[in-house]
Structure 1
Amino acid sequence: MGLRVARNLLPALLALLGTLLPAPEAAQVSVYPPDATIPVGGSLLVNCSSDCNSLGLETILSKESRGFGGAEDTFWKAFLLNDIQEDDTPKCFSNCGGVQSMASMTVTVYAFPDRVDLAPLPPWVPAGDNFTLSCHVAGGAPRKSLSVVFLRDKEELGRLSAEGEDPIKMTVTARREDHGANFSCRSELDLRPQGLELFQNSSASQHLQIFVMPTTQPSLVSPKAVEVGTTWNLDCSLDGLFPASEAKVHLEVGGQQLNPKITPRTDAVWAQVATKWEQEGELELKCEVTLAGQRREAVENVTFYSFPAPSLTLSASEVPEGTEVKVECEAFAGALATLRGAPARPPAPKSHFTFSASAQDHRRLFLCSATLEVAGQKFHKNQSRELHVLYGPRLSDKDCPGNWTWEAGSHQTLRCQPWGNPTPKLDCRRKGDDAPLPIGDLKPVKAEIRGTYVCHASSLLKTVTREVVVEVISPDYTLIIIIGVVLVVVLTVAGFLGYHYNRQRKIRKYELQKAQEEAALKLNPLTAPPE
């Protein structure tokens, strides 16, 4: 029974003994460098030191011993880590007295990105819309020190962490002023906290094109109807688009493409072409404006028609007076004709009338006007003819008065004008001496032009004769002298009477003044002087 009790107390005694006896002390271990950042594939010399000579290095990296030494309580051992490809936490350790001690360090591998790429931008981006910048950074370590900067030309738009492997994205709003800008991204590996540098690598630039395309349709300006064979203008324009210089304009008539002149303007494009069409019919006009893959289209119809000029004929363009003349006016291609210069009649495809030519019809103008209605529009074409009537000569009293009576010295005008077609020639001579008749202004009239003149008006048709008598009256100077003497006498008598009347008026005025002064003296006697 005593033996069983002893067995039961043995473990307790051993435990008590363990607590009473001193435990072996742990060795002091250190590592250098405590932290290291090296390029991928590089090497690193690690030194482990301790007060225990049992030293080692635990790591997943390739290592080789590079020496050891020490004495008494300081021992060291060096290891070379080769071709480091990844991060690790090597541990220096020592085993002394059955106790293991450790000291850790950190090895960080850095590498520049293999490639920095900005994803292609859309060919065109509408102004005001959002688009995405996506930057892919292939490789590069450590990723926590890696960031991406997005740039518009040289302007920084934003900076984002590139710790993950996925592309880094940023949303940007397209502005008109961004048209033609270059966008890029730049990787930044910041190792300055580790005592190294800031390493940068940029992508190739991507060119951005911004556009504005209005919702309105182009303005297509063209006649509704065009005569075949004539040149006509076709205009097409669109306002409110940007950039106008990049807009394309397509014009066609009846499926046939035209070659317009395109003129970009501020936020507008204008195309114009002058062309001809040789066939009748209704065709479709089309204008298409294209920008950034978007299209705006306008369609109109135009009618091409034929409209020959009307026919206007006279039975003869030059006839003797009294000849019967026939005038005919005719329109074609469904047009209606109106003959002007003739009695009024409703428009008809053909119109005519006959009359007897007189002198008043000379140079009479006839106008044949044709009217054609196409596509709700009226078009007009005219033909004109002038009639020449042969008549005369005529030398009437109205055109050449037979009697002229003037006073000598006066200013007069002598008229004598023959009429006829062809234009007649006039020859007026005075009987007796063949002196010519002074036709025109006479300033003054002289006595020597008096006489009787014989006037001949001649043309290819005939000759007519007329006498013209010119009488010049000389003035009577005796009457003028009498009138002058009478005027002198009258003026002299009137002057004398005026002088006499004025003198008598002054005498009476003087006498009246003297009488007034005498009366005043009688009413106011002189005062006697004092004694």
Structure 2
Amino acid sequence: MGAPGPATRLLPPLVLALAGVARGTFTVVAWPRVAVVAFGGSVTVNCSRSACPGDNATLGLETPLPATPGAGGAPLAKLPAPERVPVEPRPCHLLRPAAVTPRPTPAPASSSTLPERVELEPVPALAVGDSRNLTCHVLEVAPVRNLTVTLRRGAETLRTESFGDAEGSASVAVSHLLTVTRGDHGQDVTCHAELSLRPHGPLFARAAVPVTLSVFALPEPPQLQAPAILEAGTVANASCRITGAFPAGDIRVTAALDQEPLNVTATVAGDTVTASTELSPRSPGPRELSCTAAVATVARTARRQLHVYHLPEIPASGCPGNRTWVRGTREALSCRATGNPAPTVVCGRDGVAVASAEPEPVTRSRAGTYLCNATNALGTRSRRVTVRVECEWHRGRRRGAAGSPSVAAEVTGRPLCPPKMSPRCPRRGVRHGGSGWRGSGGSWSVAPTGTPGPARAVPATVAPATVAPTTAAPTTAGSPRGRVVTRADGGRYVCRATNRHGVAVRSVVVTVEYQPSLGERGCPERRRWLEGTPAELGCAATGNPPPRVTCAKLGDGRDPANATELGGSQDPPQATPNVTRAHAGTYQCRATNAHGSAVRNVTVAVEYGPAGVTLRVLPSANVTRGSGFTVDCGAEGVPAPTYTWALPPAPNLRLAADNRSVTVTGATTANRGVYTCTASNRHGRRAGERRGAGGR
């Protein structure tokens, strides 16, 4: 007998022993010719021979495996297959007389084990361009040389591997290095293991549970847009834009103001995700706005520092509007204001600032009306403060010489410092701001008349009726002294002259006239107009008599002193034109009355919504496959517009930093389509489009 063939390498050959004496030739046959049995199973082997001369030959069966002989010692045995233990083959031998020539038939047997498990290693979410080994494990299979393992992505075969002449039972692993693209997202990876025992046995197949690929892209951090300066208590909009995101619908966007979550509304357009939110900070100070975009295991965050301000406020508790001081004490004209940045407070009277930090002696000259301004970077708030100076109370009467009128020292009901008046006491008087009490109507000293006549000039008392002067410098008839008239001196006065025979009373109305003034409150120096709305450049001036105000644009060849356009108090009023862009510029407003004029320049900025959206394809609208081109978008508008795009979905698009252009590199047919650019500002939006040819 020769050596066993390849099919008999897992189980040792059966050794057939023939004993006896025979003449001639006979054949020994084993059945089945090839036995296939699973590990741990058993197979029945039948051994027979052909006719033997003399019929005196004995047929036997030898094997190193445990065997159960057939009934009556017949050449029939049941052989168990070893459990995953390969056995080296041994040569067969036959015991026979020299005259006998047997023709034995080998009875090879092989054992097999189906794969216990076929498993794919889990694959985490992968970024576009990342590489990852796809590994399939096949556990405990035999014979390994009959195993074929196939890895597939969808219907595409990635790798097929077999194991050649490998012996026995083993666990195997098959790997394939995959570099993922966007097209791999959602694809199933499968692994199939086939154990083929053909032609002597069946074909066994098992598959692993599929693994679904998750592919993402988040190449750029979010683009965060928000105003750098906000006023506390107001509402402003902020947006967060993520470009190149994939899959765009899976992007999670969150926003926070100083780690306090904000409500976010997200929209998706192609591979761009735009999230918007409202900002309404309640307290001033530096704040941090953050926007985070996350997909799979990756997150990118953009941050922006915001400065929340508060316009100045002058509360009544920190700056009382009416104050009464006692002459001879020390007082400070202090005002406390709130705001962020912290405002500075300056108080003044008649355009002259006064010290307000340190207490100073109280004199009659400090009585009056002051204007206190609190100013920071956002603006100014004002508050008027009226100071009254009290004199000491004097009760009783002092008598003069015999026959002379009494010297009045009585209090008329209010602790105000009474002025002294002269005999010239007209019922009505006009005083000009800045002039002395002695001007335009004489001094205000009083000498009473009567019988007996006074021996000398005697001062009289003056009690205020409806409006009293707050700084009354006393004078006497013998030595009148003048002082500067202020607007607070206007009002009704009661003049009382007294001697021992009675009292004379006269009511005097004082009107104070003064030249015009134009201030920020009534005539702001900076205006913003919206195109198409009525052009009204109103400026309110102070002055007595009420001034006439006219405004004209500088540089148009007109004399501002004679202008009557865009505002003022001309009578009858002219029809108001609508605002155009030509109205932008600097205007000079002039307030005039009988005592002079005041001039103030006002700068007008005209705002309008986006207009004239144009798209250009550079360097040329004729695009060939593989070339590059740029679509540039431009528009007019004040404030300057921002730009958004609606683009054909393609991976080779890149937006400029200011979003005004989109660049295509390596043009393909995917770049064909309509490129739409939308320009927006707070007054509206306007879109333009251009059809792209893509690669030809």
> How big is the shift at 1:116?
1.0
**Please, which of 69, 73, 77 is the counterpart of residue 79 of structure 1?**
77
Whichever residue aligns with residue 172 of structure 1, its letter is: L
2 CA distance for matches of 1:120 and 1:100? 63
| 1:119 aligned partner | 121
> How big is the shift at 1:357?
10
| 1:42 aligned partner | 41
2 CA distance for matches of 1:420 and 1:299? 56
Q: Where does 1:268-417 land on structure 2 (aligned, <5 Å)? A: 268-307=272-311, 332-333=375-376, 367-369=522-524
Number of aligned residues: 322
2 CA distance for matches of 1:370 and 1:337? 13
Q: Deviations over 1:339-371 (max 9, x none)?
A: 9xxxxxxxxxxxxx989699xx9xxx9834388
User: Would the aligned equivalents of 1:126 and 1:210 in 2 still touch at CA under 8 Å?
Assistant: yes
User: Would the aligned equivalents of 2:287 and 2:305 in 1 still touch at CA under 8 Å?
Assistant: yes
2 CA distance for matches of 1:46 and 1:192? 20
2 CA distance for matches of 1:55 and 1:282? 105
| 1:137 aligned partner | 138
User: Would the aligned equivalents of 2:28 and 2:47 in 1 still touch at CA under 8 Å?
Assistant: yes
User: Would the aligned equivalents of 1:230 and 1:277 in 2 still touch at CA under 8 Å?
Assistant: yes
2 CA distance for matches of 1:150 and 1:260? 43
2 CA distance for matches of 1:77 and 1:292? 69
2 CA distance for matches of 1:181 and 1:337? 65
2 CA distance for matches of 1:61 and 1:368? 116
User: Would the aligned equivalents of 2:311 and 2:379 in 1 still touch at CA under 8 Å?
Assistant: no
1 CA distance for matches of 2:524 and 2:372? 8
> How big is the shift at 1:302?
0.9
**Please, which of 236, 240, 259 is the counterpart of residue 236 of structure 1?**
240
Q: Flag the structure with larger Rg.
A: 1
| 1:109 aligned partner | 111
2 CA distance for matches of 1:38 and 1:147? 20
Q: What is the TM-score with the length of structure 1 in the denominator? A: 0.51
Q: Which has the higher helix share?
A: 1
1 CA distance for matches of 2:44 and 2:377? 110
Unaligned runs of 5+ residues in structure 1 are 1-23, 70-75, 312-325, 340-352, 372-381, 392-418, 422-531
Whichever residue aligns with residue 188 of structure 2, its letter is: N
| Residue 208, structure 1, aligned to residue 227, structure 2 | no
Question: What's the RMSD between the two structures over aligned residues?
Answer: 4.5
| 2:685 aligned partner | none
2 CA distance for matches of 1:334 and 1:246? 44
Q: Where does 1:184-199 land on structure 2 (aligned, <5 Å)? A: 184-194=190-200, 196-199=201-204
User: Would the aligned equivalents of 1:53 and 1:94 in 2 still touch at CA under 8 Å?
Assistant: no
> How big is the shift at 1:27?
7.2
The percent of aligned pairs where both chains have the same amino acid is 27
Label 1:41 to 1:249 Cα distance change in 2 as closer, same or farther (>3 A).
same
| 1:97 aligned partner | 97
| 1:177 aligned partner | 183
SS in 2 for 1:54: strand
| 2:264 aligned partner | 260
2 CA distance for matches of 1:166 and 1:383? 90
Q: What is the TM-score with the length of structure 2 in the denominator? A: 0.40
2 CA distance for matches of 1:62 and 1:276? 89
Q: Deviations over 1:121-144 (max 9, x none)?
A: 1x2112233221111111232221
> How big is the shift at 1:287?
2.1
| 2:627 aligned partner | none
| 1:465 aligned partner | none
SS in 2 for 1:167: strand
> How big is the shift at 1:237?
1.4
Unaligned runs of 5+ residues in structure 2 are 1-22, 316-368, 383-485, 488-511, 527-536, 547-569, 573-696
Q: Deviations over 1:206-265 (max 9, x none)?
A: 121011221x33211010100000011121112112112222223222232323223333
| 2:642 aligned partner | none
> How big is the shift at 1:174?
1.3
> How big is the shift at 1:291?
2.4
Label 1:160 to 1:224 Cα distance change in 2 as closer, same or farther (>3 A).
same
| 2:171 aligned partner | 165
User: Would the aligned equivalents of 2:127 and 2:180 in 1 still touch at CA under 8 Å?
Assistant: yes
> How big is the shift at 1:106?
1.9
Whichever residue aligns with residue 35 of structure 1, its letter is: V
2 CA distance for matches of 1:222 and 1:65? 93
